[in-house]
């Protein structure tokens, strides 16, 4: 099978591309990526010499780039998206453009020829905050941030092409991923790298927000299983069933890095911060026989070791654009936090 992987130079996308060449001999990949701040060509160094690998720099909102990239491909896996909630609060427009309009452009090109499957990778955040129980695929969407709303819009648009045109589409809604190559604006890589450098760990609010943590390789294996075994028109939750508060995650990071507890600093919460996410993954287990394999502490240990061995990768990032972003997002919060506790 020849895949087009959009956003394949980002965190999950690059891990997925490596997974294809590791687990699916004979499959080949074309990557289309705009190489924005979180998409990095060096994330693909391990696969750039693999047979059939092709990289194209381009925007999924550009029909010409999309048409060139999709030529000869059997299936599309769309990771391309603006993904960080904090950034969406500051600039919702770019999220709507990429996460909704970009999906429309991809779908228009995809339906021009007979292709196997379009896999739209979405997020558990489309369900909104789930105070009790777990979200099923049939539950209503209730996104509460510009990021979540843009992802909900993108997946709804993709599914409309299945209903209206018969385009073979599958949507996945995944829980929080972590692992190698994750841009250090997200909680786990930010806290790991800050802990390694003795910098404060800015924990939002009371630190009791709950997330389900899914090791990125488990997510990639789920997507490959869908490509092989799922039919069109399906929606699947992809989660690990490993729920932890942000406090618990922070403590685990401190333990794994050997950093002191007094690095933790509670800071002002972000607006509209969802309290809890939890997915029911029965469909993935019963229909496709997939289940997450990696215990959280094992996955976290592997992730910490990767960041320890790849300082050059993240030190360059944190000394560039990220530095100004971090200052904007956290300096005021840290100043108002009243010290370490």
Whether 305 is catalytic is: no
Sort strands 176-178 and 210-215 into parallel, antiparallel or unpaired: parallel
CA 319/CA 306 separation, integer angstroms = 19
Q: Which of 86, 109, 125, 212 is catalytic?
A: 125
CA 57/CA 68 separation, integer angstroms = 11
Burial track 253-280 (b if 16+ CB lie within 10 A, e otherwise) = bbebbebeeebbbbbeeeeeebebbbbb
Rounded-to-10 torsion of CA 228, 230, 235, 238: -50
Give Cβ neighbours of residue 4 (< 8 Å, ≥ 6 apart): 29, 30, 31, 32, 69, 70, 73, 75, 76, 77
Whether 42 is catalytic is: no
| 102-110 helix and 146-165 helix, angle to the nearest 10 degrees | 20
Q: Which of 127, 147, 161, 266 is catalytic?
A: 147
Whether 59 is catalytic is: no
Q: Which of 82, 86, 109, 124 is catalytic?
A: 124
Contact predicate 237/281, CB 8 Å: yes
Q: What's the length of the chain?
A: 341
- Residues tagged active-site: 124-125, 147
């Amino acid at each position: 099978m020849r895949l087009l992987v959009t956003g394949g130079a980002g965190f999950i996308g690059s891990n997925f591309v490596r997974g294809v060449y590791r687990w699916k001999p004979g499959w080949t990949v074309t990557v289309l990526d705009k190489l924005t701040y979180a998409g990095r060509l060096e994330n693909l160094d391990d696969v750039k010499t693999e047979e059939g690998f092709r990289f194209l720099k381009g925007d999924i909102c550009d029909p010409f780039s999309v048409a060139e990239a999709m030529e000869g491909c059997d299936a599309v896996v769309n990771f391309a998206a603006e993904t960080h909630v904090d950034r969406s609060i500051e600039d919702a427009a770019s999220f709507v453009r990429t996460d909704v309009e970009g999906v429309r452009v991809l779908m228009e090109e995809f339906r021009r020829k007979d292709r196997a499957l379009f896999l739209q990778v979405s997020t558990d955040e489309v369900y909104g905050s789930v105070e009790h129980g777990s979200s099923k695929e049939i539950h209503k969407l209730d996104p509460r941030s510009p990021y979540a709303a843009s992802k909900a819009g993108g997946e709804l648009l993709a599914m409309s092409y299945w209903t209206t045109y018969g385009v073979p589409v599958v949507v996945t809604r995944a829980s929080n991923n972590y692992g190698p190559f994750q841009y250090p604006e997200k909680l786990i890589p930010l806290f790991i790298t800050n802990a390694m450098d003795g910098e404060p760990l800015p924990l939002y609010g009371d630190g009791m927000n709950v997330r389900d943590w899914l090791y990125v390789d488990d997510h990639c294996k789920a997507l490959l299983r869908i490509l092989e075994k799922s039919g069109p028109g399906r929606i699947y939750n992809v989660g690990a069933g490993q729920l932890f508060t942000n406090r618990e995650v922070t403590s685990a990071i401190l333990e794994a890095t050997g950093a002191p507890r007094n690095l933790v600093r509670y800071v002002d919460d972000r607006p509209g911060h969802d309290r809890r996410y939890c997915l029911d993954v029965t469909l993935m287990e019963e229909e496709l026989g997939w289940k997450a394999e990696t215990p959280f502490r094992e996955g976290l240990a592997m992730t910490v070791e990767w960041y320890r061995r790849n300082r050059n990768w993240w030190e360059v990032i944190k000394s560039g654009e990220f530095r100004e972003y971090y200052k904007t997002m956290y300096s005021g919060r840290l100043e108002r936090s009243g010290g370490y506790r």
